[in-house]
Amino acid sequence: MAKDGEKGEWKEFIWNPRTREFLGRTGSSWGLILLFYLVFYIFLAGLFALTMYVMLQTLDDHKPTWQDRLATPGMVIRPKADDTFEIIYDLEKTETWDMYTEALNKFLDPYNNSVQAQKNDECVPDQYFKQEDSGEVKNNPKRSCQFNRTILEDCSGLNDPLYGYQHGKPCIIIKLNRVIGMLPGKSGVAPYVTCGAKKEDSEKIGELVYFPPNGTFNLMYYPYYGKKAQVNYSQPLVAIKFLNITQNEDVNVECKINAENIPIASERDKFAGRVSFKLRINNKN
Ligand SMILES: *[C@@H]1O[C@H](CO)[C@@H](O)[C@H](O)[C@H]1NC(C)=O
Ligand SMILES: *[C@@H]1O[C@H](CO)[C@@H](O)[C@H](O)[C@H]1NC(C)=O
Ligand SMILES: *[C@@H]1O[C@H](CO)[C@@H](O)[C@H](O)[C@H]1NC(C)=O
Ligand SMILES: *[C@@H]1O[C@H](CO)[C@@H](O)[C@H](O)[C@H]1NC(C)=O
Ligand SMILES: *[C@@H]1O[C@H](CO)[C@@H](O)[C@H](O)[C@H]1NC(C)=O
């Protein structure tokens, strides 16, 4: 009996024909609830869209709004065979260094004088090439300076297409990673690269020669305004040629950037402004 009564109660709760209530509410009550939620969600969606819109208005297409404050550039070397910073080859076996010279060829292709002359400007050397926006007026697109492949002389691959690898006098190319807005080298002194051997290898590194002379990154290649603003930007390069490196031994080399205002290898970033790699040339003779 009690069971029957319960069942009846349930049925009535779902649909009560007397009061015309569904789940305890009348049609108009349900209607009001639906209307409330509809309005509520439309309001939320509108608020979200408005916030997004305001946010996007404050972003500049041509430069990032937020950037690491301590933007110290890292350095990388070419050729880069794999992820290990090692250049190891056998002097007699062309196939062991082919990949290096090929990687350099590929890397330097966009620096061909003809390409640079077509894309970029001849800038005034030894001074920053500033192209600031004036207030709301964006000075875009921005021009970039020529970095002609011939600057790298013996390491350009033009007069010596094998970059010295065949003679055990290999070239290594260094570039500084791009940092938007960076003005390296205060008071008109251009940043320059110096390389040396780690302590235990100092006898083995032999004489080095830098291209361009003194291993400088000319000031005219700075500041960099970002990929979108400065589409044709060519990063300046420094090449190092090892003239008399000891063969059949590992030589651990470290190159660093010297500039008054680029801190090197802080606690925070051990790789800032420097790059280390191992160079080994095997030769059975
Ligand atoms: C750059 O110059 C080298 C040597 O002259 C040539 O082999 C190469 O095809 C050129 N690359 C481009 C992209 O013009
Ligand atoms: C780069 O090479 C081109 C073609 O040889 C030349 O016209 C131009 O003056 C060179 N640029 C610089 C900055 O030396
Ligand atoms: C970029 O290079 C192209 C040629 O490759 C040139 O037509 C264009 O004017 C250059 N743009 C800028 C902003 O330097
Ligand atoms: C290289 O540096 C030396 C001294 O540090 C300076 O006298 C010389 O003019 C520099 N050469 C070039 C081409 O910058
Ligand atoms: C090359 O280095 C060796 C020592 O590793 C040295 O004896 C020799 O004089 C150097 N040659 C030149 C031309 O500097």
Domain edges within the chain: 2-57, 75-282
d(CA 76, CA 256): 10
d(CA 181, CA 194): 24
Residue 133 vs residue 65, higher pLDDT: 133
pLDDT at 1: 45
Quote the ligand 1 centre to 145 CA distance (angstroms). 19
pLDDT at 264: 62
Has residue 2 got a pLDDT over 60? no
pLDDT at 266: 58
Quote the ligand 2 centre to 182 CA distance (angstroms). 25
When pLDDT is cut at 50, 70 and 90, the band that residue 270 belongs to is: low
Quote the ligand 5 centre to 203 CA distance (angstroms). 10
The answer to whether 82 touches 88, Cβ cutoff 8 Å, is no
The alpha carbon of residue 76 and the mean position of all alpha carbons in its chain are separated, in whole angstroms, by 11
Quick one: average pLDDT of 70-90? Answer: 81
Q: Which of 101, 104, 112 is the best mutation target for the ligand 1 pocket, counting ligand atoms within 8 Å of the beta carbon and taking the most? A: 112
Q: Tell me the H-state helices in the chain.
A: 2-14, 27-57, 94-108, 113-119
Quick one: average pLDDT of 212-228? Answer: 93
Instruction: Find the ligand nearest to 141 CA.
Output: 3
Say what percent of the chain tops pLDDT 70.
89
pLDDT at 82: 66
- List pocket residues of ligand 4, CB cut-off 6 Å: 213-214, 216
Q: Which CATH class is domain 75-282?
A: mainly beta
Quote the ligand 4 centre to 129 CA distance (angstroms). 22
CA-CA-CA-CA dihedral for 179, 186, 128, 119, to nearest 10: -40
pLDDT at 65: 57
Q: Residue 219: is it exposed, middle or buried by C-beta count within 10 angstroms (0-12/13-18/19+)? A: buried
pLDDT at 234: 95
Please report where in the chains the tokens 């807005």 appear, as a residue: 181
| CA-proximal residue: ligand 1, atom 6 (nearest) | 109
Ligand 3 pocket residue status of 143, Cβ below 6 Å = yes
d(CA 143, CA 58): 25
| CA-proximal residue: ligand 2, atom 8 (nearest) | 117
Q: Which of 105, 107, 109, 116 is the best mutation target for the ligand 1 pocket, counting ligand atoms within 8 Å of the beta carbon and taking the most? A: 109
Quote the ligand 2 centre to 234 CA distance (angstroms). 14
Per-residue pLDDT tens digits for 164-203: 999 999 999 999 989 888 888 877 889 999 999 998 899 9
Q: Taking the model in full, what pTM does it have?
A: 0.78
pLDDT at 188: 80
Mean predicted lDDT score pLDDT of the chain? 87
Secondary structure class of 168 (helix, strand, coil): coil
Q: Which of 126, 193, 214 is the best mutation target for the ligand 4 pocket, counting ligand atoms within 8 Å of the beta carbon and taking the most? A: 214
| CA-proximal residue: ligand 4, atom 13 (nearest) | 213
DSSP 37-57: HHHHHHHHHHHHHHHHHHHHH
Establish whether the linkage from the previous residue to 223 is cis, with ω within 30° of 0. Answer: yes
Quick one: average pLDDT of 249-273? Answer: 78
Q: What DSSP character marks residue 240?
A: E
Quick one: average pLDDT of 7-16? Answer: 77
- Measured from the Cα of 121, ligand 3's closest atom is 14
